């Protein structure tokens, strides 16, 4: 052996020998450096994944301790214990609200110890290490707060009885909750309240199909969460060399998520040298980046139209309504006795028991609409739900595979192989690469021919009337079970070969309609209806999103050149154009307003006469149009020219002002503004503001997607104080590459922290209000230049 080899061997052996002799300090199990840059963005670096999770958990607790703790208490089924019988729990992303007691029974039934054990068993070692570290870091901050450190912080929970260390099980329950947010959790009350009918008594007569259909159409209730008007949404563009000036690549990610609760997004940068270097945003309680970028690729998501579950109709044994028939035999449902603790109004703690039931498919449920039982559990029929994402143990592994990928090709391959994305479309690109779209997500394997032969004959059309594409299947036949694909990671879901994908060199896009028009030059067709619709009218937001790309490529939007620059992409993303105004404002001005004016539309017409057709802070007249267009939702014969398959981006069009409901909607809009004291000449920035920040009002631009806004700001309606935004644009990233190095700019619209005592409670929101795009520091030099604090943590 040469002398140089001996010297190298000696250097390698010295640390081990010193440790064996007790001369070296023990290596802590968790160690990380947290460097915060402008707006409080944490850049976390560690030597390993336990340390990376540790740094992330601590940094996140520093910013959002109370919000996540409340959610973890809820998923444990302890909400009524701490927040009382009379409170409620909402998931605004869906949206769904359940009283605290129903919420507890639901989560105790669904997020069981067995579910946690399955998730742990399926977790790859690195994700288990990240989870363990995150819990340790989060708990360290809790210990410090309880010991009197961080005075004045987290007043909402600093003295709460539930301020206690969390467990790894809590975080796995959080992953589970995120998996089923677009499926089982929508039916929280419907599952928690489902009870078998009594054996005695005749019972009331069941309403007819026409009554059930009418009730659903009038009050779709929980099924509205799965209709086209569902609130959870996003915009995303992938722009390839043929769509970018100079031949580069750009990506826009723009999820529309709640501004409160744990479906907020949080910007973070995660680095383990040589293994992971990824920046972007994640939902609360997830120790990985869910939408992000690095030097090799960038990606984003939008909520997919695919259904993640099917309903099953079970023929009930009339002598025992906890039995159903399957292939001619009776099958016992599984009773699940549950107990929850409830804090009463006098502060005492009581216990409440229920027995809920599961079929072979999943939980039993009942569904009413407007007091009419649509899916009832009687002595003839009952209904159960099978949720593919309740069986999905791959979510956290999917995002680890992406966070640690080394190329766009690896990113795409892991998308198909892991197939753990629960409910979103994906767009991705990288420097010098094509652009990629895929709705490779967890979908029940129910091709159209299976649905046709297995659909429940009476009620399927009723359900389809408000939730087209949602299967209601016969639960008594083995041939109605979900199928399996050879390329699927588990039985019962579609494999990647039966899910839509598209690769192009110009662009791909999605704005929450189905996969069909990801690029109108190459429509995607031939997929199962449960995934999405084809050759149907697109939403106004989708149409505007596509038209913005088409206009830019043609140079017809007033900006310079043809194709995108990052600055132009940013200008378009926050431009606040209202596409319904593009289609209808001219007709209102020329056909409604020139008629002999009566008082009921005179002020509205005057405001619209000066309006710029947008929802900018400087716009005057925007509230009139918002109130006007919202009243046109569901109006028949709204357009003169109907939808055409030959021109799906530009049809329907031409507002039908001869429809008497159109004029009435304008009159009602005018009266609404008068009733709330909103001036017709008031700039929009004085009418619309953040609804989640204490202190002085922060003006917010943008509006509802339903009226054709691409720049989305959603609220619960007009009040005397104007519009209070609580939903919409959240994390925004525009990503490109300069000489192979990533260049990303964007916002977290509601800021990094939910704690009013934090310096980062509203700073990013104020920047967003002024459209001051922030470059996300990624390299060591960029982070150092933007650094506002740094700390080394270990234990």
Q: String of b and e for 194-220 (b: at least 16 CB within 10 Å)?
A: bebbeeeeeeeeebeeeebbbbbeeeb
Helix, strand and coil in the chain, % to nearest 5: 35, 25, 40
- Three-state DSSP at 434 gives coil
Residues 6+ apart with CB under 8 A from 86: 99, 100, 345
- Three-state DSSP at 157 gives coil
How many contiguous H segments (helices) and E segments (strands) does the chain have?
A: 21, 33
Please choose, from the candidates 348, 400, 473, the residue with its C-alpha nearest in 3D space to the C-alpha of residue 129: 400
Q: What is the spatial distance between Cα 191 and Cα 440, in angstroms, rounded to a whole number?
A: 28
Look up tokens 């192009």; give the residue. 504
Tokens found for residue 346? 């006098």
Burial class of residue 717, CB neighbours in 10 A (0-12, 13-18, 19+): exposed
Q: What is the spatial distance between Cα 228 and Cα 488, in angstroms, rounded to a whole number?
A: 28
C-alpha to C-alpha distances, 260 to 191, 266, 693, 726, 760, nearest whole angstrom = 25, 12, 10, 7, 15
Please choose, from the candidates 254, 258, 75, the residue with its C-alpha nearest in 3D space to the C-alpha of residue 726: 258
Considering 189, 234, 300, 404, which one is annotated as catalytic? 234
Quick check: 397 and 123 in contact, CB under 8 A? yes
Count other C-beta atoms under 10 Å from residue 695's C-beta: 9
How many Å is the Cα radius of gyration of the chain? Answer: 27
Q: What is the spatial distance between Cα 400 and Cα 402, in angstroms, rounded to a whole number?
A: 5
Q: String of b and e for 72-91 (b: at least 16 CB within 10 Å)?
A: bbbbbbbbbbbbeeeeebeb
Question: Has 580 been annotated as catalytic?
Answer: no
Residues 6+ apart with CB under 8 A from 325: 314, 315, 316, 317, 331, 476
Quick check: 514 and 505 in contact, CB under 8 A? no
Catalytic residues: 234
């Amino acid at each position: 052996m040469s002398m140089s080899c001996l010297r190298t061997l000696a250097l390698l052996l010295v640390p081990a020998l010193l440790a064996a002799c007790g001369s070296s300090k023990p290596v802590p199990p968790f160690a990380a450096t947290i460097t915060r840059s402008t707006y409080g963005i944490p850049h976390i670096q560690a030597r390993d994944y336990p340390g990376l999770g540790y740094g992330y958990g601590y940094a996140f607790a520093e910013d959002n301790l109370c919000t996540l703790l409340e959610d973890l208490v809820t998923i444990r089924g302890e909400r009524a214990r701490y927040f009382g019988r009379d409170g409620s729990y909402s998931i605004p992303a869906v949206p769904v609200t359940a009283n605290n007691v129903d919420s507890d029974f639901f989560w105790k039934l669904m997020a069981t110890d067995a579910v946690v054990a399955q998730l742990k068993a399926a977790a790859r070692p690195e994700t288990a290490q990240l989870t363990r570290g995150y819990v340790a870091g989060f708990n360290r901050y809790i210990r410090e707060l309880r010991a009197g450190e961080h005075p004045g912080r987290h007043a909402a929970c600093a003295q709460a009885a539930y301020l206690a260390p969390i467990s790894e099980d809590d975080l796995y329950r959080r992953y589970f909750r995120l998996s089923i947010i677009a499926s089982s959790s929508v039916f929280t009350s419907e599952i928690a309240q489902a009870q078998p009918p009594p054996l005695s008594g005749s019972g009331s007569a069941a309403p007819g199909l026409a009554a059930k259909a009418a009730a659903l159409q009038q009050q779709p209730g929980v099924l509205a969460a799965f209709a086209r008007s569902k609130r959870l949404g996003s915009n995303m563009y992938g722009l390839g060399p043929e769509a970018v000036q100079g031949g580069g690549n750009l990506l826009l990610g723009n999820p529309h998520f709640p501004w409160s609760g744990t479906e907020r997004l949080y910007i973070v940068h995660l680095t383990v040298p040589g293994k992971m270097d990824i920046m972007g945003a994640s939902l609360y309680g997830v120790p990985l980046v869910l939408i992000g970028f690095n030097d090799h690729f960038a990606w984003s998501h939008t909520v997919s139209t695919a259904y993640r579950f099917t309903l099953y109709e079970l023929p009930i044994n009339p002598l025992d309504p906890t039995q159903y028939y399957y292939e001619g035999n009776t099958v016992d449902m599984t009773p699940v006795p549950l107990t929850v603790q409830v804090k009463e109004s006098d502060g005492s703690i009581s216990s409440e028991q229920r027995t809920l039931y599961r079929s072979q498919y999943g939980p039993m449920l009942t569904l009413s609409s407007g007091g009419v039982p649509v899916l009832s559990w009687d002595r003839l029929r009952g209904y159960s739900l099978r949720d593919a994402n309740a069986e999905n143990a791959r979510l956290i592994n999917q995002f680890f595979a992406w966070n640690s990928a080394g190329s766009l090709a690896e990113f795409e391959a892991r998308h198909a192989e892991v197939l753990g994305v629960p409910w979103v479309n994906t767009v991705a690109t990288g420097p010098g690469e094509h652009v990629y779209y895929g709705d490779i997500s967890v979908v029940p394997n129910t091709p159209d021919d299976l649905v046709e032969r297995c659909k429940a004959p009476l009620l399927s059309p009723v359900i389809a009337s408000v939730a087209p594409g949602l299967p209601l299947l016969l639960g008594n036949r083995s041939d109605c079970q979900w199928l399996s694909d050879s390329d699927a990671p588990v039985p019962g879901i579609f494999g990647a070969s039966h899910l839509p994908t598209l690769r192009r060199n110009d662009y791909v896009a999605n704005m929450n309609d189905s996969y069909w028009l990801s690029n109108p030059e190459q429509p995607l067709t031939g997929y199962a209806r449960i995934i999405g619709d084809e050759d149907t009218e697109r939403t106004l937001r989708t149409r505007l999103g596509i038209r913005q790309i088409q206009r830019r490529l043609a140079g017809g939007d007033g900006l310079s050149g043809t194709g995108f620059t990052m600055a132009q992409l940013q200008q378009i993303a926050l431009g606040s154009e209202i596409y319904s105004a593009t289609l209808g404002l001219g007709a209102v001005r020329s056909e409604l307003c020139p008629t002999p004016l009566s008082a009921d539309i005179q002020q509205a017409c005057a405001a619209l006469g000066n309006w710029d057709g947008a929802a900018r802070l400087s716009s005057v007249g925007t509230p009139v149009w918002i109130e006007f267009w919202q009243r046109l939702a569901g109006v028949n014969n709204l357009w003169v020219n109907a939808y055409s398959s030959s021109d799906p981006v530009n049809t329907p069009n031409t507002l039908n002002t001869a429809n008497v409901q159109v004029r009435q909607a304008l009159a009602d809009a005018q009266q609404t503004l008068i009733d709330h004291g909103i001036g017709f000449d008031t700039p929009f920035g004085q009418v619309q503001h953040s609804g989640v920040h204490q202190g002085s009002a922060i003006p917010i631009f943008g509006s509802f997607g339903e009226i054709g806004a691409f720049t989305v700001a959603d609220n619960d309606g007009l009040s005397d104080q104007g519009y209070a935004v609580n939903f919409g644009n959240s994390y925004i990233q525009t990503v490109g590459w300069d000489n192979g190095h990533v260049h990303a700019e964007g916002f977290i619209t509601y800021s990094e922290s939910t704690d009013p005592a934090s310096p980062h409670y509203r700073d990013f929101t104020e920047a967003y209000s002024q459209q001051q795009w922030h470059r996300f520091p990624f390299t060591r030099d960029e982070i150092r230049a933007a650094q506002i604090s740094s700390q080394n943590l270990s234990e």
